[in-house]
Amino acid sequence: MEWLVFVPLAAIALSTAVLVIVLRNPVYCALSLVGTFFALSGVYLLLQAQFIAVVQVIVYAGAIMVLFLFVVMLLDLGHESPAWLQRDRPRLLLGIGVIVLLLIELAIPIGS
The C-alpha atoms of residue 43 and residue 60 are separated, in whole angstroms, by 15
Closest CA to 20 of 83, 58, 65: 65
Closest CA to 54 of 66, 69, 42, 68: 42
Cα Rg of the chain, angstroms: 17
Domain ranges of the chain: 3-78, 81-112
| Structure confidence by residue, pLDDT tens digits, 90-99 | 887 888 888 8
| Structure confidence by residue, pLDDT tens digits, 5-59 | 999 999 999 999 999 999 888 788 888 999 999 999 999 999 999 999 999 888 8
Q: Is 61 within 8 Å of 34 (Cβ atoms)?
A: yes
Is pLDDT at 105 greater than 60 in this prediction?
A: yes
Q: Is 56 within 8 Å of 42 (Cβ atoms)?
A: no
For 49: left if phi > 0, alpha if psi spans -120 to 50, otherwise beta; the answer is: beta
Domain 3-78 top-level CATH class: mainly alpha
